């Protein structure tokens, strides 16, 4: 079940990490993070930082406020959606140059897209605002954009559920970043940089997790912390079960068979990182984090 989410995450990542996403510079939205908050939240409409910080679950509101609502004076949500779609299209055509348009390749992409769409048929989007917003955009006509869009809905559906599971476990948005570090993903300096939390806030969150018995004095994950964090993942799995159950074990296996070669290219020659945090954003050196484990960045 978790594997389906990892596969979707791999495809979804094209929308963040291809250099084509710099197209937002052309409309005056300068800076990777400013563009990110615009295009990822765009299906929700011209929302502000409080809403986005709540929905994304993991960012300090002050970091979101560096972009929103000011970027909406430069690009509308509709234009942000169009620009991101164009960036994904361009990145896909660059990465799979020579294959886009090939009959066999296109058949593979279309079958994978169809399977992902079957998984999403009738999906419950209650309490899942990002999944609902992306689903409402409708299905693109171009096969690889169909696949990316479906993978994005799957990813955001799981991500929304993950936020629910974290909140239900009493893990707040800053504590979940400390837990990521305790489990070997990046470091606190990285979380300060890419999530906007102040050192004092990260230190206070660490203290709370130490008092809870989830983190030790050295900042590592305790046995209780590992058990508690895995319980969050299991809860996330349950909340993400609908699409997987709809597709069935055979459908998931076939989806992986189709997507595995695409994923290898994306994470290889395509340059799309397979770890979180991506190594290039880690402060002070290469990332010690593991390959995708369903955490969707929190």
Q: What is the pLDDT of residues 131-143, one digit of tens each?
A: 999 999 999 999 9
| Residue found by looking up tokens 């140059």 in the block | 97
Of 5-19, 257-271, 281-295, the poorest mean pLDDT is in 281-295
Q: How many whole angstroms separate alpha carbon 84 and alpha carbon 86? A: 5
In the chain, what percentage of residues exceed pLDDT 90?
A: 90
Above 70 in pLDDT, residue 294? no
Rounded to the nearest integer, the mean pLDDT of the chain is: 94
Q: Which residue has the tokens 């998984």?
A: 119
Q: Assess contact for 7 and 256: CB atoms under 8 A.
A: yes
pLDDT tens digits for range 178-212: 999 999 999 999 999 999 999 999 999 999 999 99
Interatomic CA distance for residues 192 and 32, integer angstroms: 16
Asked if residue 292 has pLDDT above 60, the reply is no
State pLDDT tens for residues 52-90: 999 999 999 999 999 999 999 999 999 999 999 999 999
* Predicted pLDDT of residue 102: 87
- Look at residue 125 and tell me whether its pLDDT is greater than 90: yes
Rounded to an integer, the average pLDDT of 283-296 is: 52
pLDDT for 288 beyond 60? no
Q: What count of Cα atoms within 13 Å lies in the side-chain half-sphere of residue 36?
A: 18
Is the pTM higher than 0.75? The answer reads: yes
Angle between helices 143-168 and 2-12 (to 10 degrees): 130
**Which one has a higher pLDDT value, 46 or 277?**
46
Question: How far, in whole angstroms, is CA 142 from its chain's centroid?
Answer: 22
- Binning the chain into helix, strand and coil, the percentages to the nearest 5 are 70, 0, 30
Q: What is the pLDDT of residue 275?
A: 86
Q: Which two tokens stand for residue 182?
A: 């305790």
């Amino acid at each position: 079940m978790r594997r389906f989410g990892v596969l979707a995450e791999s495809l979804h990542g094209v929308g963040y990490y291809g250099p084509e996403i710099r197209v937002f510079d052309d409309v005056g939205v300068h800076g990777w993070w400013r563009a990110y908050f615009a295009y990822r939240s765009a299906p929700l409409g011209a929302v502000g930082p409080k809403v986005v910080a709540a929905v994304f679950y993991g960012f300090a509101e002050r970091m979101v406020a560096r972009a929103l609502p000011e970027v909406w004076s430069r690009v509308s949500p509709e234009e942000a959606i169009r620009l991101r779609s164009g960036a994904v299209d361009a990145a896909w055509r660059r990465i799979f140059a020579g294959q886009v348009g090939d009959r066999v390749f296109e058949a593979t992409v279309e079958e994978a897209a169809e399977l992902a769409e079957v998984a999403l048929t009738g999906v419950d989007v209650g309490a899942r605002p990002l999944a609902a917003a992306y689903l409402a955009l409708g299905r693109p006509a171009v096969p690889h954009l169909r696949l990316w869009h479906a993978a994005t809905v799957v990813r955001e559906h799981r991500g929304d559920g993950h936020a629910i599971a974290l909140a239900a476990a009493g893990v707040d948005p800053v504590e979940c970043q400390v837990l990521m570090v305790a489990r070997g993903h990046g470091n606190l300096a990285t979380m300060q940089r890419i999530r906007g939390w102040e050192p004092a806030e990260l230190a206070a969150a660490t203290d709370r997790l130490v008092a809870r018995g989830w983190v030790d004095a050295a900042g590592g994950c305790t046995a209780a912390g590992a058990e508690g964090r895995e319980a969050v993942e299991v809860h996330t799995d349950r909340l993400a079960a609908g699409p997987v159950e709809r597709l069935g074990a055979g459908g998931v296996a076939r989806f992986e068979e189709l997507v595995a070669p695409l994923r290898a290219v994306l994470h290889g020659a395509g340059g799309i990182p397979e770890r979180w945090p991506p190594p290039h954003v880690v402060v002070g050196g290469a990332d010690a984090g593991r390959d995708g484990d369903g955490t969707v960045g929190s």
